[in-house]
Amino acid sequence: MKVTTLDALRSWLDTVVGEYDVVAPRDVDGHVLYRPVATSGEIVFSYERPELSVKDYLLPATEVLLRVEKRGGEVTVEENLADRGQVIFGVRPCDAHGPATIDALFLEQEPPDTYYSHHRARTVLIGMACPQLWEGCFCTSVGGAPDDATHLDVLLRRVDGGFAVDTVTEKGAKLIAGLCVEERDGAPDAPTTEGEAVPVMPPDAWRPLFGDNIWMRHGERCLSCRICTYVCPTCRCFDVADRVVEQGAGITRIERIRVWDACTSTNYRRAAGGHNSRPTKPVRLRNRSFCKFRYYPEDYGPLGCVGCGRCIVSCPVDIDITEVLQDVAERSGR
């Protein structure tokens, strides 16, 4: 195996920040979050699961798409596309499965989403394997693993005295060409994956459960706070709005922005005239669950859940998607 030391990794990262926008796990007031960094000294190398996924750097929570200027009768429109490459360092394997899930809709359907495609093309994902499953994690039940290199460009795994380096893609190989590594005998320890597997029923098993009381049982206490959707690496619903940023002296400047939306919110499904086709919390929770395990895989291929467990640990009223999955398995009788 190829191994690098922490010092070598830090020096290499300090060269990368000169050339790329670098995002990495950082301690922000006691919360480990993927955040932009200017030096390797800001990066946390020992951490569990960052509290938010990397989604914000590929499908930002708020993104300016266009800048429009109206000066008298003249209108100019400027597209807002970042011009630097981006490196996301320390990506947990489930967080690399997240964008791969979104790709099925945003890249692989016609036409591909311009802004998401741009972020995907400019981004290199340097992964950091988890040594174990963290609280709430069930990646192994949905096709992942704590040391899964799929969908990463490079995977690092902790070993004595440093990190084993697995190069996965050409993009990754090009990026880490300057990283100092040495050949060593042996292999990294396998991660601990103890715990009961969560049963995940195939999409057709969900169909008869649309009218089941599972949804009332779990959804009745939902607060419609949307946290589960925002922390999720695969939830990708958005809204688009125009905001006036400057107006006066014959000039109007407008930004067209895209913002995350959430099917768990009260207004998500409200149409003109006020009708809401998902007016209750259980119905909205049912939709979120069906979307992840029936609609999305049926329509686009991948499951809409990578088992990161974030929605479980973040929900203020302890709604647990693995309990929903258990109920679905029991009720479906398979």
User: Which positions lie near ligand SF4, rule CB under 6 A?
Assistant: 222-228, 231-234, 264, 292, 305-311, 315-317, 319, 321
Side-chain-facing half-sphere of 47: CA atoms under 13 Å: 23
- Nearest to ligand SF4 of 226, 294 (CB atom): 226
Tell me the H-state helices in the chain.
6-19, 93-106, 114-122, 170-175, 203-206, 214-219, 227-231, 281-290, 296-300, 310-314, 321-332
Closer Cβ to ligand SF4, 172 or 282, answer by number = 282
Cα radius of gyration rounded to whole Å, the chain: 22
Nearer CB in complex with ligand SF4: 100/311: 311
Q: Give least dist CB 317 to ligand SF4, A.
A: 5
Q: Which residues of 79-95 are buried (b: 16+ CB within 10 A; e: fewer)?
A: eeeeeebbbbbbbbbbb
Q: Cβ of residue 302: shortest distance to ligand SF4, in angstroms? A: 11
Q: How far is the CB of 252 from ligand SF4 (least distance, A)?
A: 37
Residues in the chain, overall count: 334
**CB nearer to ligand SF4: pick between 252 and 314:** 314
Determine whether 215 is exposed, middle or buried from the number of CB atoms within 10 Å of its CB (0-12, 13-18, 19+).
buried
Q: Which is nearer to ligand SF4, 79 or 239 (CB)?
A: 239
Q: How far is the CB of 309 from ligand SF4 (least distance, A)?
A: 5
Rounded least distance, CB 267 to ligand SF4, Å: 13
